[in-house]
Amino acid sequence: MKSPLISVRPTFVFRSSFFVLVLALLATVSVIPGQEAPGASMPSASALGLAQSPISSLVGVESPIISDKYVLMPGDRLLVTVQGSVTYSYDAWITYEGKINVSIPKLEVVDVVSVSGLTLAQAQDTLTATMLRYFRVVTVKLTLTGLRSGIVFLTGEVQYPGAYNASPVERVSQVVARAGGLSPLGSKTRIRLIRNGVVKSIVDIERFETSGDLLANPFVESGDVIQVPAVEGLVTVKGAVFGRGEYRLRISALTTDKERVSEGIYELKPGERVFDMISKAGGITPWADLSNSYIERLVVGGGGARKKIAVDLRRIIFERDSSGNLEMMNTDIMVIPPINTLVYVEGEVSKPGSFTFGPNLRAGDYIGQAGGPTNYADSRVAYVLRAGRRISIRTNPVVESGDVVMMPRLGIKWWQDYVTILSAIGIPVASILVTLSLSGHL
């Protein structure tokens, strides 16, 4: 006959294992993100005799959070690890009152400690002092396992003003992007970050985007107000710049490479000049025609008419000539044309048209590409037209990109022209004489 103890033990083991499994499932369900209430604590996996599962997901951060700098606020989630005469851990939230639970095995919550506004390091010291009231020798470690989500208010020139959830590791530009970005008139350079009713900083997203200056794009905190004013001025920069707005690619006749030709609208701050706008537009391309750039500026009282102001970018950029670095005005259009990589041959040649520019080629080379002069070409007075100036081709000069080689027509070309003229006149005259003779008038 078997002992009753032997027959009972398997049932007890089964029920115990089932009980542990149920507790494990309940613990798993209780940590679904967004379901737990701030301030609630749950039993640790180690208390159930199970290995702790790693954190399934983390909010993206740009760098590790430093315990001496991160300030705790309501909504932060922590793993509290107690080591010393006892060793255990538990998860806890910082409540809306800014407090954290003090839990002890079998007694659960025995106390609460205010930690809001403290850094992680300071909160560790505070919790350690509290635990020493219950244990002889212990230290407390805090691990940040979940970031709080606060509310930030966006007003002014954004696509969708309103209140948005934001974590303390997000910067102003990220929250603005979540609001649909700036409106067409929204300023990138004068955004006000208001905290506790006081302007905390002036945010310059443009400086952040161009130079990577993180100080120009600070972190947000719950309750912040981001106020985006309208721009004070706008300048259009188009042509051979790398650009930060819309652009198109043209095929270079010289290299067959694709050349970027951009057009963008950039915010104008008071006192900004030509060089500043070129920098905002991403800088000039290697194929920019620096000597022929210009500004189109509205004429006051001109009914929308614009005047052209020549700008020598070569002197401004490479010679640091500040005299030509003009101050920009609202609605200005700055044009940086690409270098013309073609040479044109016109007049009395067999195949007039445009031809690919080649370094060190002369006028005769391009005339040859155009099929040579016709019988009516006057090569003695042919010339190269360059920036409105005529250059005789008698010396067969070197042609530059954009030049026009002109081959004029002769007024009268020796005996062939005389024969043509006489034949053109003689046939009608002879016809008239024959008609008069037959009619008896001669």
Query: Would you give the DSSP letter of residue 339?
Result: P
Reported as a pLDDT band with limits 50, 70 and 90, residue 215 is very high
Rounded-to-integer distance, Cα 13 and Cα 277, Å: 78
Q: Which domains does the chain have, with CATH numbers?
A: 36-45+63-147 (3.30.1950), 150-228 (3.10.560.10), 234-336 (3.10.560.10), 342-407 (3.10.560.10), 417-442 (no CATH)
In contact, 152 and 166? CB cutoff 8 Å: yes
Q: What is the SS3 assignment for 357?
A: coil
**Range with the largest mean pLDDT of 35-49, 131-145, 346-360:** 131-145
Question: What is the distance, to the nearest Å, from the Cα of residue 331 to the centroid of all Cα atoms in its chain?
Answer: 22
Q: Per-residue pLDDT for 173 more than 70? A: yes
Contacts of 314 (CB under 8 A, 6+ apart): 290, 291
Tokens of 210: 């161009």
- In angstroms, the CA 148 to CA 117 distance is 13
DSSP-derived secondary structure letter, 247: E
Report residue 354's pLDDT band, with 50, 70 and 90 as the boundaries: confident
Among the listed residues 122, 147, 121, the one whose alpha carbon sits nearest the alpha carbon of residue 38: 147
Burial of 131 (0-12, 13-18, 19+ CB in 10 A): buried
Alpha-helical (H) ranges within 99-145 are 120-131
**Cα atoms in the Cβ-side hemisphere of radius 13 Å centred on 325:** 16
pLDDT at 169 over 60: yes
Percentage of residues in the chain having pLDDT higher than 90:
53
Q: What is the pLDDT, as a whole number, of residue 259?
A: 53
Please answer whether residues 276 and 328 qualify as being in contact, where contact means their C-beta atoms are separated by less than 8 angstroms: yes
pLDDT at 436: 56
Residue type, 246: E
Structure tokens at 358: 């080649």
Candidate from 26-35, 258-267, 284-293, 296-305 with smallest mean pLDDT: 26-35
For residue 427, the number of C-alpha atoms closer than 13 Å in the C-beta half-sphere is: 5
Asked whether the predicted pLDDT for residue 3 surpasses 50, the reply is no
Measured in degrees and rounded to the nearest 5, phi and psi for residue 314 equal -60, -45
349, amino acid identity: V
Measure the CA–CA gap between 380 and 293, rounded to whole angstroms.
35
**The pair of three-digit structure tokens given for residue 21, joined into one six-digit string:** 């499994």
Confidence of residue 40 (pLDDT cuts 50, 70, 90): very low
State pLDDT tens for residues 79-135. 999 999 999 999 999 999 999 999 988 877 788 999 999 999 999 999 999 999 999
Output the pTM of the full model: 0.59
Predicted pLDDT at 424? 60
- Helices (H), strands (E): how many in the chain? 8, 21
Q: Is 439 helix (H, G, I), strand (E, B) or coil?
A: coil
**101 forms bridges with which residues in the sheet?**
112
Which range has highest mean pLDDT (148-157, 206-215, 348-357, 358-367)? 148-157
- Confidence at residue 190, expressed as pLDDT on a 0 to 100 scale: 95
Confidence of residue 437 (pLDDT cuts 50, 70, 90): low
Structure tokens at 33: 């993100």
Distance CA 277, CA 144 (A): 44
Q: Coil, strand, or helix at residue 158? A: strand
Nearest to 255 by CA among 357, 336, 354, 343: 357
Task: Give the range among 362-371, 377-386, 425-434 with minimum mean pLDDT.
Answer: 425-434
Specify the length of the chain in residues: 442
The structure tokens listed for 135 are 């244990």
**pLDDT attached to residue 339:** 79
Would you say residue 416 has pLDDT above 80? no
- Judge residue 318's burial from the number of C-beta atoms within 10 Å of its C-beta, 0-12 exposed, 13-18 middle, 19 or more buried: exposed
Q: What is the enclosing helix (H) or strand (E) of 367?
A: helix 363-369
Beta-carbon contacts of residue 242 (< 8 Å; ≥ 6 apart): 260, 262, 281, 282, 283, 284, 285
Average pLDDT on 294-312 reads 93
Give the Cα separation of 351 and 372 in Å (integer). 8
Query: pLDDT by residue (tens digit) across 323-342?
Result: 899 999 999 999 998 877 78
Confidence band of 248 (pLDDT split at 50, 70, 90): very low
- Per-residue pLDDT at 13 exceeds 90: no
Q: Sorting pLDDT into bands at 50, 70 and 90, what band is 138?
A: very high
Mean pLDDT of the chain: 81
**C-alpha span between 249 and 38 (Å, rounded):** 55
**Structure token pair of residue 377:** 């070409």
User: Ramachandran region of residue 152, left (φ > 0), alpha (ψ -120 to 50) or beta?
Assistant: beta
Q: Sorting pLDDT into bands at 50, 70 and 90, what band is 21?
A: very low
Which of 153-157, 181-185, 257-261, 285-289 shows the lowest mean pLDDT across its residues? 257-261
Residue 10's pLDDT is what?
41
Q: Is the pLDDT of residue 41 over 80?
A: no
Burial 48-80 (b: 16+ CB within 10 A, else e): eeeeeeeeeeeeeeeeeeebeebebbbbbbbbb
Q: Is the pLDDT of residue 12 over 60?
A: no
Closest CA to 90 of 140, 136, 129: 140
